[in-house]
Structure 1
Amino acid sequence: MNQEKVKTFENIIKKNYPNICGVVVMKDNKIVYENYENKDMLTMTAPLKYKEPPYVDYFTGSDYLKFSLDMLGGDNEIGTFSYAPLIGPDVLSGIIKNSTNQSVLEFATKNLFEPLGILPPENIVFKNADEQFLFNQSTDKNNWVADSKNLNTAGWGLALSTLDMAKIGQLYLNGGVYNCKRIVSTNWVKESTSVHSHLNELMYGYLWWILDEYSFAALGDGGNTIYVDTKNNIIVSISALFVPNSKEKIKLIKQYIKPAFED
């Protein structure tokens, strides 16, 4: 396979054929090329039927997947960045459940938690808003939020220790390998940490914020952060309680934490 020619036709497709979603090439009875575009859920560029995220309606609903699917559409064009951590990722969660015939928790336990040495969480279903509030303020939970149909959330609601978060960062720093065992493909790591959409000057991959050529981060409520610096081989994970308008932690990491460990 001529990589230069592959890159040429990939660029032509992106420029002149934006409606193409996938290309597969087979030769001698083998797949020699497989690539998919327009994964709008991963890049936060799916059109939505609201201007402000309907958090209350979402949290009080019993079926996160149906709610998320009902929110798709609206006046925005496909490809316009609209940060919606409660919508797109939950659709992905439904895809995983339906395509693997396993619960998302079962799939993640086998393919992520156990290989990384992370104690698998237990499902938790909220009966009311008070239970959700207590979960957000807790420091000792080992749970993963699910709806009444046992579908796990994908954009929030997973309680991990700070060390567990660092393990995920290390997995990505190693290109998908942890403890000499491949867990995620190198191509997926590269693809998910490449720029696919923008929010003004901010760059976004597949559920990762791309900070510069060498670093990317997962950022969550309250400042929960997994920061990966591939140039200096540094991982910084930060866990934090949820508070409104919390300061983001990238400045803290870059200016104070990371320099303390650089040569």
Structure 2
Amino acid sequence: MNNNPISKFEDLIKKDYSNIAGIAIIKNEHLIYEKYFDGYTKEDGLHIASVTKSITSALIGIAIDKGYIKNIEQKVLEFFPDYTVKRGEKTIQNITIKNLMTMTAPYKYKSEPYTKIYTSDDWVKATLDLLGGKGGIGVFKYTTVGTHILSGVLANATGQSVIAFATENLFKPLGINAPNHVFIQNKEDYLAFLKDKYVTGWIVDPTGINTAGWGLTLTPRDMAKIGQLYLSGGVRNGNQILSSKWIEESTKEKSRWGELSYGYLWWIVDDCYAALGDGGNVIFINPKKEMVVAIASRFMPRAKDRIELIRKHIMPLFG
């Protein structure tokens, strides 16, 4: 029997969380644990799914810091002057960036029309066409396709591609290798991106707009660096990359989904907060313990709860 607590923890990962590819843990600004599974190495990126949303949140914050966006209360349609609103459609005109960031914008669909959006020629326009309708503004409705509008806002506000803006203002200052564009032409490409063992890049729509709700690949170390940036109040190597005020606001409850609290594209978990992605991708930040836990996982439907893993096993072992 192996009584080494770390070995027991790693055995647990292999047994009960077999789709985990890598874990990186930072405490007091030092990388205290890093481990890769299933043949992955620290150089291998993975599709981080909806963790992409929280990175989009950081980019919106940077765009506000730099004056490209006035504030979060700006109406979404201000950024799309060429968009024609359909007759009788009034709700869309009142939807703000804040509504998109807090998942409190209404949409004209019951379940997310991924195929319809991702086979269209212009994903932002296709999503704007679904924004509004009869639902009330302010009611929580979690959406991945809807978040894509924020990438359109970023591109139009900054005059740069999302990837160029992110590289210059977030990835490069954090020492993260900038991803390449990845185009998906059909359902097969989409499924391959989700399921292939080794994927790199950032999905981009036919007009050159990067996805905001999914589609970015990062390594666990990259994810941990973003978590540490938030923990450090937006400062890295003495440079203010993101304002501490934005971080504070982003990680306070702004809306609710049942018992779950939501900030600006970040989940609030008790006195901690997290970026959560399908399959078990996580950037978990515990301010009291000054800890960041980054977990990258391969795509898997109904993956076992990572928050439970962090709370029950990681915090007692490394905290």
What TM-score, normalized by structure 1, do the two folds share?
Answer: 0.83
What do residues 143-201 of structure 1 show as CA deviations (whole Å, max 9, x unaligned)?
A: 00001110000010000111101111000011111222210001100011111000011
Question: What is the rounded CA distance, in whole Å, between the counterparts of 1:161 and 1:68 in structure 2?
Answer: 29
Which residue identity does 1:249 align to in structure 2? Answer: R
**Counterpart-to-counterpart distance in 1, 2:305 and 2:151:** 26
Distance 1:195 1:96, change over 3 A: same
Equivalent residue for 2:119?
60
Q: Which residue does the alignment assign to 1:8?
A: none
Code of the aligned partner of 1:251: E
* SS of residue matched to 1:222: coil
Please give the per-residue CA displacement for 1:101-124, whole angstroms capped at 9, x wherever unaligned: 100010000000000000000001
* 2:281 corresponds to: 224
Task: Please show how residues 165-184 of structure 1 align to structure 2 within 5 Å.
Answer: 165-184=223-242
Any gaps of 5 or more consecutive residues in structure 1?
1-33
Report the residue type matching 1:219 in the other structure.
Answer: L
C-alpha deviations, 1:200-222, integer Å up to 9, x for none? 11100000000113x10000111
Segment drifting more, 135-144 vs 203-212: 135-144
Q: State yes or no: 1:261 paired with 2:318.
A: yes
Matches for 1:196-215 after TM superposition, within 5 Å: 196-213=254-271, 215=272
In the other structure, the counterpart of 2:106 is 47
Q: Which residue of 2 aligns with 1:135?
A: 193
Partner of 1:125: 183
Post-superposition offset of 1:56: 2.0
Deviations 1:35-60 (A, max 9, x none): 65451000000011011111221222
Cα offsets for 1:217-244 (capped at 9, x unmatched): 0001111110000000110011111122
Matches within 5 A, 1:87-126: 87=146, 89-126=147-184
Aligned mates of 2:99, 2:196 — CA distance in 1: 33
Unaligned runs of 5+ in 2: 1-69, 74-95
Shift of 1:77: 0.7
Aligned length: 227
- What is the DSSP-based 3-state SS (H/G/I as helix, E as strand, rest coil) of the residue aligned with 1:239? strand
**Following TM superposition, by how much is the alpha carbon of 1:258 offset from its aligned partner in structure 2, in angstroms?**
1.6
Q: What is the letter of the counterpart of residue 83 of structure 1?
A: Y
RMSD across aligned C-alpha pairs, in angstroms? 1.4
Residues 139/165 of structure 1: CA separation in 2 closer, same or farther (3 Å cut): farther
- In the TM superposition, what is the alpha-carbon distance from 1:257 to its structure 2 partner? 1.1
What CA deviation, in whole Å up to 9, does each residue of 1:52-98 have, x standing for no partner? Answer: 111221222231101110110122210000000221x2111111101
* Amino acid in the other structure paired with 2:206: S
SS of the residue aligned with 2:129? helix
Higher RCO, 1 or 2 (CA under 8 Å, sep at least 6)? Answer: 2
Report the TM-score, using the length of structure 2 for normalisation.
0.69
| Whole-angstrom distance in 1 between the partners of 2:195 and 2:121 | 22
What is the CA distance between 1:142 and its match in structure 2? 2.5
1:150 equivalenced with 2:208 (yes/no): yes
Cα 1:53–1:131 change in 2 (3 A) is same
* Residue 161 of structure 1, aligned match among 206, 219, 224: 219
C-alpha distance in structure 1 between counterparts of 2:157 and 2:71, whole Å: 19
Shift of 1:247: 2.4
SS of equivalent to 1:145: strand
Question: Aligned equivalents of 2:314 and 2:196: distance in 1?
Answer: 25
For the residues of structure 2 that align with 1:160 and 1:186, how far apart are their CA atoms?
A: 24
| C-alpha separation in 2, matches of 1:59 and 1:202 | 29
In structure 1, C-alpha distance between the alignment counterparts of 2:120 and 2:280, rounded to whole Å: 26
What residue in structure 1 maps to residue 295 of structure 2?
238
After superposing the two structures, state which structure 1 stretch, 136-145 or 147-156, moved more. 136-145
AA paired with 1:227?
F
Pick the aligned partner of 2:140 from 72, 81, 96. Answer: 81
Percent identity of paired positions between Structure 1 and Structure 2? 48
Q: Secondary structure at the match of 1:194?
A: coil
| Residue 251 (structure 1) aligned with residue 280 (structure 2) | no
The residue identity in structure 2 corresponding to 1:146 is: V
CA spacing shift, 1:113–1:212, aligned 2, 3 Å: same
Read off the aligned partner of 1:122 and give its amino acid letter.
N
Measure, in 2, the Cα distance between the counterparts of 1:97 and 1:202. Answer: 31
